[in-house]
């Protein structure tokens, strides 16, 4: 296995031989994609070991930024460029559709749990992409078809993160709490088109801390907003208003407060208390990224001296049970490194960690590319 990882790493595929590398590129060989496929094969095998308890933490759905009508394209680009854009988009969608279905089909009907959480600015399930210039809420039909396809292929539980991404009054991307009317309309639009059984709607994501994909503003990398910290009380009030409206219309739909980044039982407890109505809380979610099964990475102010990972997980399980909700691990990954042995260790640690959670009745969704450096 170790030798196979080395041979499939993008850092080791003929990079020492420019002529060979160029020839492979000319033949359409993509070393990064080859390594990604190698990782997917491991993650797939792990899910298939216990499909009732293990799932996939990131399903690659269509890029929501292309969700524009023909009229909007003509207004933005003019006739010639709009036709070129539409032609390119048709080809991109066809390629994406084939790759998407191939990935889902690769589980042979055994994928039971999946989470859809694209980067906020790319998400088709966000106001930044679902809201037209005239204010109309319009979800990308390709995205709707993808959710339906997963259900057709036996995915019995699909956790959809309804992102907070939107544009502020200055046209800048924001992850602040969105307009309630528009946000409820976006979720309602999805449920009107997709059978609600088995759907979990997560109201935002990782609101316990602010994150950027490039906080150090490294050269040639864009600063993409991942999440914005929101106080438990402010978030709880927003969640209560949104979910109470939707529960009236869609009694069978399940809802989940935003999964926390790392272990954050204090924040989680304050959020659930602020919601103030346990009938609105079906799932409690957290994302325990770490390097060792026994260690716990916590958010600021959450660390308890002497506690290990099991202690935090047990505390979150107690909090969820107290509110009549089910605890899940919405995302989990173990960091590795460039050393193949570190990757092997990360994979072993992941298998051990999710097995321990499963014994407690906690289902885990594996975030892709296990073992890559954090």
pTM of the complete model: 0.86
pLDDT of residue 19: 45
Please give the residue that has the higher pLDDT: either 272 or 293.
Answer: 272
Reduced to 3 states (helix: H, G, I; strand: E, B; else coil), residue 197 is coil
Nearest to 113 by CA among 75, 79, 158: 158
Angle (deg, nearest 10), helices 232-249 and 265-275? 50
pLDDT of residue 370: 78
Give me the mean pLDDT over the 208-212 stretch.
81
3-state helix, strand, coil in the chain (%, to 5): 45, 15, 40
Paired strand residues for 126 = 163
- Split at pLDDT 50, 70, 90, the class of 340 is low
Integer Cα distance of 46 and 37 in angstroms:
14
Nearest to 313 by CA among 258, 250, 355: 355
- Split at pLDDT 50, 70, 90, the class of 301 is very high
- Split at pLDDT 50, 70, 90, the class of 233 is very high
How far the first Cα of the chain sits from its last, in Å, is 22
How many CB atoms within 10 Å of residue 249? 13
Q: Worst-scoring range by mean pLDDT, 73-87, 225-239, 320-334?
A: 73-87
Integer Cα distance of 279 and 324 in angstroms:
8
177 close to 235: Cβ distance less than 8 angstroms:
yes
Q: How does DSSP classify residue 122?
A: G
pLDDT of residue 40: 87
- Split at pLDDT 50, 70, 90, the class of 171 is confident
Residue 144: pLDDT over 90: yes
pLDDT of residue 371: 73
Integer Cα distance of 37 and 10 in angstroms:
11
Q: How does DSSP classify residue 58?
A: -
Q: What is the CATH number of domain 35-366?
A: 3.20.20
pLDDT, tens digit (0-9, with 9 covering 90-100), for 105-123: 999 999 999 999 998 989 9
Give me the mean pLDDT over the 46-74 stretch.
85
241 close to 200: Cβ distance less than 8 angstroms:
no
pLDDT > 70 in the chain, percent: 80
Residue 313: pLDDT over 90: yes
Backbone angles phi, psi at 175, to 5 degrees: -115, 20
Integer Cα distance of 88 and 118 in angstroms:
22
pLDDT of residue 335: 81
114 close to 365: Cβ distance less than 8 angstroms:
yes
């Amino acid at each position: 296995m170790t030798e196979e990882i080395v041979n499939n790493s993008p850092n080791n595929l003929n990079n020492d031989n420019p002529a060979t590398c160029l020839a492979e590129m000319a033949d359409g060989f993509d070393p990064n994609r080859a390594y990604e496929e190698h990782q997917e094969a491991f993650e797939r095998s792990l899910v298939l070991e216990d499909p009732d308890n293990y799932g996939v933490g990131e399903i690659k759905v269509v890029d929501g930024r292309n969700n524009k009508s023909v009229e909007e394209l003509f207004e933005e680009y003019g006739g010639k460029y709009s036709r070129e854009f539409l032609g390119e988009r048709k080809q991109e969608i066809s390629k994406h559709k084939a790759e998407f279905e191939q990935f889902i089909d690769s589980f042979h009907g055994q994928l039971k749990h999946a989470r859809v959480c694209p980067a906020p600015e790319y998400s088709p399930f966000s106001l930044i992409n679902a809201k037209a210039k005239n204010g109309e809420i319009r979800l990308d039909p390709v995205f709707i078809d993808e959710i339906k396809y997963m259900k057709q292929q036996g995915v019995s539980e699909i956790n959809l993160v309804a992102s907070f991404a939107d544009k502020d009054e200055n046209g800048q991307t924001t992850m602040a709490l969105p307009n309630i009317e528009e946000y409820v309309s976006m979720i309602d639009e999805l449920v009107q088109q997709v059978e609600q059984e088995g759907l979990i709607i997560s109201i935002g994501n990782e609101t316990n801390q602010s994150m950027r994909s490039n906080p150090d503003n490294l050269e040639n990398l864009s600063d993409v907003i991942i999440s914005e910290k929101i106080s438990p009380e402010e978030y709880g009030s927003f969640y209560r208003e949104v979910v109470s409206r939707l529960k009236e219309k869609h009694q069978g739909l399940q809802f989940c407060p935003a999964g926390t980044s790392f272990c954050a039982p204090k924040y989680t407890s304050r959020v659930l208390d602020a919601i103030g109505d346990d009938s609105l809380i079906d799932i409690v979610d957290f994302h325990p990224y770490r390097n060792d099964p026994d260690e716990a990475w916590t958010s600021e102010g959450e660390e308890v001296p002497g506690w290990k990972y099991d202690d935090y997980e047990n505390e979150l399980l107690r909090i969820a049970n107290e509110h009549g909700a089910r605890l899940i691990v919405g995302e989990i990954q173990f960091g590795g490194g460039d050393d193949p042995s570190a990757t092997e260790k990360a994979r072993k640690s992941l298998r051990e960690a999710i097995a321990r959670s499963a014994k407690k009745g906690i289902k885990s969704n594996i975030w892709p590319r296990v073992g890559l450096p954090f």
